[in-house]
Amino acid sequence: MTTRVSDTCEFEAEVLAAVLQSRWPERADDSLRAHVATCTICSDVAAIASAVEDSREDLRANAVVPDSGRVWWLAQLRARREAAEAAGRPITAAQMMAFACAVGLLGACFGATSTWFQSVVRTMLRWVASSLTGFDVKALLHGAITVLAEHGALALAMAVVLFLVPTAVYLALGKD
């Protein structure tokens, strides 16, 4: 029996058994004691095993765990609630899609009838056309500021709708 440098030792299990059976160190074999005195692994096992076992016994003896019937009952309640929520999720998704379609339809009607909106679209198309021929940042900024000043409320409302709809869908579907 010599000092080991690896991370395992063939006597580890024997030392552990001696500790757990309360044979260590007085009633253990002399040869085992001699080995432990020279083996880092086994001396560590001997050092910690009794402390771990002592703590294990103490914790298990003083453990206050809920009754198994109560745990089962609560688990069933929770599972049923989650199942009900999961069953309701497609309805919520359909409702959100219907809402998004309605908003889109309203937007389309608004776009078709609103002269404001049509002028905005025309202006934007002109910008795109002008930027393709000769990109002018100053003109672009000037045009954007002009449009925002004229139709700021409309742009803000559209931005809010565009943000709110995906957010509402996300919250409805990602609740769980």
Partner 1 sequence: MFRDVTFTDVSRTDALDDCVGFVMDEDAFRAFYDRTARGVWAYLVRVTGSRETADDLLQETFYRFLRAAAEHQDEAHRRNSLYRIATNLARDARRRSLFRGAAGLTGDDIERVAASGDQAHATERRADFTRAMSHLKPRERAMLWLAYAEGASHREIADVLGLSPGSLKPLLFRARRRLAVLLGRAPGRGER
The yes or no reply on residue 97 touching partner 1 (CB under 8 A) is no
**Which of 40/130 has CB closer to partner 1?**
40
Tell which one of 53, 89, 150, 169 touches partner 1 (CB under 8 A). Answer: 53
The yes or no reply on residue 41 touching partner 1 (CB under 8 A) is yes
- What are the distances in angstroms from CA 148 to CA 10, 123, 164? 80, 12, 21
Q: How far is CA 147 from the centre of its chain?
A: 42
Q: Which stretch binds partner 1 (CB under 8 A): 25-33, 41-49, 118-126, 142-150?
A: 41-49
CA 100/CA 106 separation, integer angstroms: 10
CA 63/CA 168 separation, integer angstroms: 45
Question: Taking the complex as a whole, how short is the minimal distance between the CB of residue 22 and partner 1, in angstroms?
Answer: 14
Supply angle C-alpha 25, 29, 33, rounded to 5.
55
The yes or no reply on residue 49 touching partner 1 (CB under 8 A) is yes
Question: Taking the complex as a whole, how short is the minimal distance between the CB of residue 129 and partner 1, in angstroms?
Answer: 53
Residues 6+ apart with CB under 8 A from 127: 140, 143
**Which of 54/136 has CB closer to partner 1?**
54
Residues 64-83 that bind partner 1 (CB under 8 A): 65-66, 68-69, 71-72, 74-76, 78-80, 82-83
- Per DSSP, helices labelled H in the chain are 12-20, 30-38, 40-62, 68-113, 115-133, 137-173
Q: What is the contact surface with partner 1 in residues (CB under 8 A)?
A: 7-8, 16, 40-41, 43-45, 47-49, 51-56, 58-60, 62-63, 65-66, 68-69, 71-72, 74-76, 78-80, 82-83
